[in-house]
Every structure is written in structure tokens, then in C-alpha cells.
């Protein structure tokens, strides 16, 4: 590696070691996962699926992918797993194509109410192909969803997919109610669990498959602590991909496989699939359940500490790993300004839209915080008071560069006492 790249990489390592990661979609991987990404599997093309490849030399790749598939199925109680999606966005797009035709309707959560970009934002490829209808919070103070209203939308628009999933909604959805609505209109009940996968695997949040869902998509990073990649899980019967299956629920696994390859992607990234297999095994260990519960405990403690300091949280708190502060209402600044201030002292968060936001998306009113990464580092609920103090102080002292610089040193000194898992 040349010097300019080495310097940037070393600086990023220092930033991660000395900083406090608060972005809820980020985490740290183990040394084993990190090492897997740099193996000779990077060299290997493996188009197709185990036992049905389009290139030779697949004996070992088939073993690795089958292990990853079996571990993912066991972890989430799925009948089938496709571990090839490059990330969460293509996993969602493949899921849509597996069941829908262009122009079909998908009912999903509104982005400003906590949904994800790939759940129908007008600028995305999916929104140019499918018709997205959106539901949201009926009560923004509590996060309550009016499921009778969701049912009315479903009966009116007859969606092919009802999508449960979010990236900034701090509460749990009622999967049983959404599944019942989907069954009533003949839709597939699909959950995007990208943010929640590790918490579901750890048994601290509900598994949509236990409530009648047929399809789940996910990333493998975030709370699952694996490599950056995607995953699609299904209920149903796997049939031969050489023959187009009937468009029925029981054939959903094969429809998904065909949508991923050759429908959307070419050769899978086998080094990433190796890392996924390692992460799935790690998530099946007893200590991962402790991690998942502590992530929730830390989030609850941080939300309470912020509320005590006068910060207004969207939905009034959290039941999962994240929270969103209305910075405009709380401190009279945008989420973008808050993000920059916290970044300057080693606290990494991200700006985020809030319901009915009057500010533009590139500088919205909200600031999104989460506890997955700091929990991985070893922080406990008793540390959340200190974290809330830091956030309050940095925002209040944002015009005083000297005090911010001193605080950055304090944050760094503190976080160096909590090693990265890849350093242990």
C-alpha cells in the first residue's frame, strides 16, 4: 500500500479507536470477520449457487456458502437463506422483483416517519419501477401506528407486498397485525430487519417469522456485527432454479434466488460470504444474547438521560437500539449543525429527518443516535449519563473551539480504555 493510502487508513484506525460511535447503523467486527474479508476468496468468481455454478473450481466455495446458508437459517428460523446480496439495498430490490411486476403496489413506512430510502423514496430505482404507498405514525409523541388505517390503505390499494421495516423508528412494530392485514389482501408480509437483525438473533426483539411473515431482508452489519453485506430469508419450499416456479408463496425461496441471480447480480463476493458465515456463528453464541440485551439497556438509559437534560426525542423514547432527537425543538439548531459539533469532539452521530420536518433532507431537524457500536466496545448503562453530559456540553459550547478541543481529548482518553474487538 502506498504512503498516502496508508496514512489515511492509519488515521481512520485512530479515529475509530479514540472516538465514540453513535450511528445506529454502524458497528465493529471481530478480528475473525475482519480477517475473512482479506482472504484469497477475493480472487474467486462463483456465479450461480452451490452445486449450480457457471465457473469451475467451486468445491470450497460451495462448502463455505452452504455453511453460511445453514447458519443463517438456524439463526432466524428460516426455511431458506440467500446470502449473496451485496448489501441491503439490492436485497430489498431483489425481494421486490421476486414477487412483484413493474407497476405493482408496495405498502411501506414513510421515510420521514422512520422508513428507509429503499422503501419507496422517489429518487430511488425501486420507486421508478413500483408504486409505493406509505403509512406512518398516527401519534408522533408515542410512535403509535394506526393499524386500522394501514388496513384501510391495504384494502384500497391492494398491495402485493406489505413491508414492515425502518431505519429511524425507535419503537417495535406489531408484526401480527401487519401479517393479518397482508393475509387479508393476499400480499406477502415482508420485513426489512436490517437494523434489528442482531437484536432478533439475540432474542430480545420479536422475530417477524413467528408472526406469520414469509419474507425478510437484512444487512449483515449493523446490530448483527458482520461484514457489510445483505441477506434474504424466506419461508417456503425450494425448487429447481432451472425451471421457472409457479408464482405462489411456497415457491418464494426460488423466486428470490432467481431475482438475486441472474436477475440483479452477477458473481457473489465469496470473501464476504465467508465473513457472513463467521458472523452468523458468533451471533449464535450465548454471549451475543448478553450483547443484544445490553444494547437495549444502553439505549433506554441514554434516552432517559437525554430527556432529563431537556432534549425532545421523537416518539418520546425508544424500545430498540436507536433514538432521534428533535434538535430544532430542543436546542434551536439543525441536526446537521449538531452532527458537525459532535463530530468535532469525537462523538459520531448522524443528522436525520423527523416527521413533518420543515428543514431540507441535507440539513434536517433531527439527530439520530444508537447504541450498538458503543455496546460492542464495552460501555454500560452507567456510562450513558456521561455520554449525555458530553452531548449537552458540546452543543452548549459549540462556539468555543477551545472547550471543544479539550473535550475531544477527554473523549479520546476515555474511549482508548475500551479496545476495538479487532484489537483484542
Which member of 15, 17, 39, 47 is catalytic?
Answer: 47
Q: What ranges in 144-285 are assigned the alpha helix state H?
A: 147-157, 175-185, 197-201, 252-260, 270-283
- Beta strands in 199-327, from DSSP E residues, in sequence order: 215-219, 230-234, 322-326
Which member of 105, 219, 220, 315 is catalytic?
Answer: 219
Helix or strand (DSSP H, E) at 20: strand 20-21
Which member of 192, 257, 326, 392 is catalytic?
Answer: 192
User: Is 49 among the residues known to form the active site?
Assistant: no
Q: What single DSSP character describes residue 353?
A: -
Spatial separation of the C-alpha atoms in residues 266 and 250, rounded to whole Å? 25
Are 410 and 397 in contact by the 8 Å Cβ rule? The answer is no
- Beta strands in 29-165, from DSSP E residues, in sequence order: 48-49, 52-53, 80-82, 105-109, 131-135, 137-139, 144-145, 161-165
Which member of 160, 222, 351, 368 is catalytic?
Answer: 222
Spatial separation of the C-alpha atoms in residues 289 and 144, rounded to whole Å? 28
Closest C-alpha to 201, from 85, 317, 293, 69: 293
Retrieve residue 268's grid coordinates. 457473489
User: Is 228 among the residues known to form the active site?
Assistant: yes
Helix or strand (DSSP H, E) at 370: strand 366-370
User: Is 192 among the residues known to form the active site?
Assistant: yes
Which member of 158, 228, 312, 403 is catalytic?
Answer: 228
Spatial separation of the C-alpha atoms in residues 291 and 366, rounded to whole Å? 27
Are 206 and 172 in contact by the 8 Å Cβ rule? The answer is yes
Are 8 and 412 in contact by the 8 Å Cβ rule? The answer is no
Spatial separation of the C-alpha atoms in residues 260 and 230, rounded to whole Å? 11
Are 231 and 86 in contact by the 8 Å Cβ rule? The answer is no
Helix or strand (DSSP H, E) at 192: strand 188-192
Which member of 35, 39, 45, 312 is catalytic?
Answer: 45
Q: What single DSSP character describes residue 312?
A: P
Spatial separation of the C-alpha atoms in residues 307 and 8, rounded to whole Å? 38
User: Is 392 among the residues known to form the active site?
Assistant: no
Are 135 and 152 in contact by the 8 Å Cβ rule? The answer is no
Q: Just list the catalytic residues.
A: 45, 47, 192, 219, 222, 228
Amino acid at each position: 500500500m502506498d504512503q498516502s493510502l496508508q496514512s489515511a487508513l492509519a488515521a481512520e484506525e485512530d479515529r475509530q479507536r479514540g472516538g465514540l460511535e453513535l450511528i445506529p447503523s454502524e458497528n465493529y467486527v471481530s478480528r475473525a470477520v475482519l480477517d475473512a474479508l482479506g482472504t484469497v476468496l477475493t480472487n474467486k468468481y462463483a456465479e450461480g449457487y452451490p452445486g449450480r455454478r457457471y465457473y469451475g473450481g467451486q468445491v470450497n466455495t460451495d462448502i463455505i456458502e452452504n455453511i453460511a446458508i445453514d447458519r443463517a437459517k438456524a439463526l432466524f428460523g428460516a426455511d431458506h437463506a440467500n446470502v449473496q446480496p451485496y448489501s441491503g439495498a439490492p436485497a430489498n430490490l431483489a425481494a421486490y422483483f421476486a414477487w412483484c411486476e413493474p407497476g405493482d403496489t408496495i405498502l411501506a413506512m414513510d421515510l420521514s416517519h422512520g422508513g428507509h430510502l429503499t422503501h419507496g423514496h422517489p429518487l430511488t430505482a425501486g420507486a421508478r419501477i413500483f408504486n409505493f404507498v406509505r403509512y406512518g405514525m398516527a401519534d408522533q409523541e408515542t410512535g403509535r401506528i394506526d393499524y386500522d388505517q394501514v388496513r384501510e390503505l391495504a384494502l384500497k390499494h391492494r398491495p402485493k407486498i406489505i413491508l414492515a421495516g425502518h431505519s429511524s423508528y425507535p419503537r417495535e412494530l406489531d408484526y401480527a397485525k401487519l401479517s393479518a392485514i397482508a393475509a387479508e389482501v393476499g400480499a406477502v408480509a415482508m420485513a426489512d430487519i436490517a437494523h434489528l437483525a442482531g437484536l432478533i438473533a439475540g432474542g430480545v426483539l420479536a422475530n417477524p417469522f413467528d408472526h406469520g411473515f414469509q419474507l425478510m431482508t437484512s444487512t449483515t452489519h449493523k446490530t448483527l456485527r458482520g461484514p457489510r453485506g445483505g441477506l434474504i430469508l424466506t419461508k417456503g419450499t425450494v425448487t429447481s432454479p432451472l425451471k421457472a416456479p409457479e408464482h405462489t408463496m411456497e415457491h418464494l425461496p426460488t423466486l428470490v434466488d432467481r431475482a438475486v441471480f441472474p436477475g440483479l447480480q452477477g458473481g457473489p463476493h465469496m470473501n464476504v460470504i465467508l465473513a457472513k458465515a463467521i458472523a452468523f456463528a458468533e451471533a449464535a453464541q450465548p454471549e451475543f444474547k448478553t450483547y443484544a440485551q445490553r444494547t437495549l439497556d444502553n439505549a433506554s438509559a441514554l434516552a432517559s438521560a437525554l430527556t432529563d437534560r431537556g432534549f425532545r426525542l421523537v416518539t418520546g423514547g425508544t424500545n430498540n437500539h436507536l433514538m432521534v432527537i428533535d434538535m430544532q425543538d430542543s436546542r434551536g439548531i439543525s441536526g446537521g449543525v449538531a452532527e458537525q459539533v459532535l463530530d468535532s469532539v469525537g462523538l459520531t452521530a448522524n443528522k436525520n429527518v423527523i416527521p413533518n420536518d420543515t428543514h431540507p433532507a441535507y440539513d434536517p431537524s433531527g439527530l439520530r443516535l444508537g447504541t450498538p457500536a458503543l455496546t460492542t466496545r464495552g460501555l454500560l448503562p452507567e456510562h450513558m449519563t456521561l455520554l449525555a453530559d458530553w452531548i449537552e456540553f458540546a452543543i452548549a459550547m459549540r462556539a468555543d473551539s477551545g472547550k471543544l478541543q479539550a473535550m475531544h481529548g477527554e473523549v479520546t482518553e476515555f474511549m482508548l480504555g475500551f479496545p476495538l474487538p479487532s484489537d483484542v
